[in-house]
């Protein structure tokens, strides 16, 4: 079983204490229905674990089957520039059925991501970051989303709140 080949760093999008005993990394695609199903579960797990957990999100847009995934990832990365990554992340998953360019432009406006920043994103300003996440996932054996790693080890077990909390609590 492959482990995480790119260690979690300050460059990652993370929530929770850097020194938390447990780090949960998700490789996700904003248009993936399975990621959409996992979103509220992972939020509940974060809530249950509190300061015992650091949650990390990495981009893994599967553009062959999800035509809006790259635009969504670009928007989230643009939002990072104004300190709004997690707000963008949450908006995208909460409105996963509305990811057209027009929808994303509306989300950008709602979060205060200006037109120039969105234009830069649309022109690939953040593609290197997205590609870096993606390739790190490929090297780590990610072949679908969501793909989870717990303290650097791939996790393919049950993905309900109780099961995840039990596994994570055992490591905390």
Q: What is the pLDDT of residue 74?
A: 98
Q: What is the pLDDT of residue 48?
A: 97
Angle at 135 between CA 130 and CA 140, to 5 degrees: 130
Backbone angle region of 55, left / alpha / beta, with phi > 0 → left and psi within -120 to 50 → alpha: beta
The parts of the chain modelled with pLDDT lower than 70 are 1
Q: What is the pLDDT of residue 1?
A: 56
Topology (CATH level 3) of domain 13-171:
Glutaredoxin (3.40.30)
Q: What is the pLDDT of residue 2?
A: 74
What three-state secondary structure class fits 73? helix
């Amino acid at each position: 079983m492959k482990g995480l080949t790119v260690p979690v760093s300050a460059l990652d999008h993370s929530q929770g204490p850097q020194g938390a005993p447990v780090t949960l990394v998700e490789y996700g695609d904003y248009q993936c229905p399975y990621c959409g199903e996992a979103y509220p579960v992972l939020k509940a797990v974060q809530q249950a674990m509190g300061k015992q957990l650091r949650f990390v999100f990495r981009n893994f847009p599967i553009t062959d089957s999800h035509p809006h995934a790259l635009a969504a990832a670009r928007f989230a990365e643009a939002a990072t520039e104004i300190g709004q990554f997690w707000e963008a992340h949450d908006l995208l998953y909460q409105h996963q059925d509305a990811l057209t360019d027009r929808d994303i432009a509306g989300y950008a406006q709602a979060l205060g991501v200006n037109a120039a920043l969105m234009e830069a994103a649309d022109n690939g300003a953040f593609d290197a970051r997205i590609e870096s996440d993606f390739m790190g996932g490929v090297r780590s054996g990610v072949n679908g989303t969501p793909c989870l790693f717990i303290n650097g080890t791939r996790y393919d077990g049950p993905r309900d709140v109780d099961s995840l909390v039990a596994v994570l609590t055992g490591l905390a």
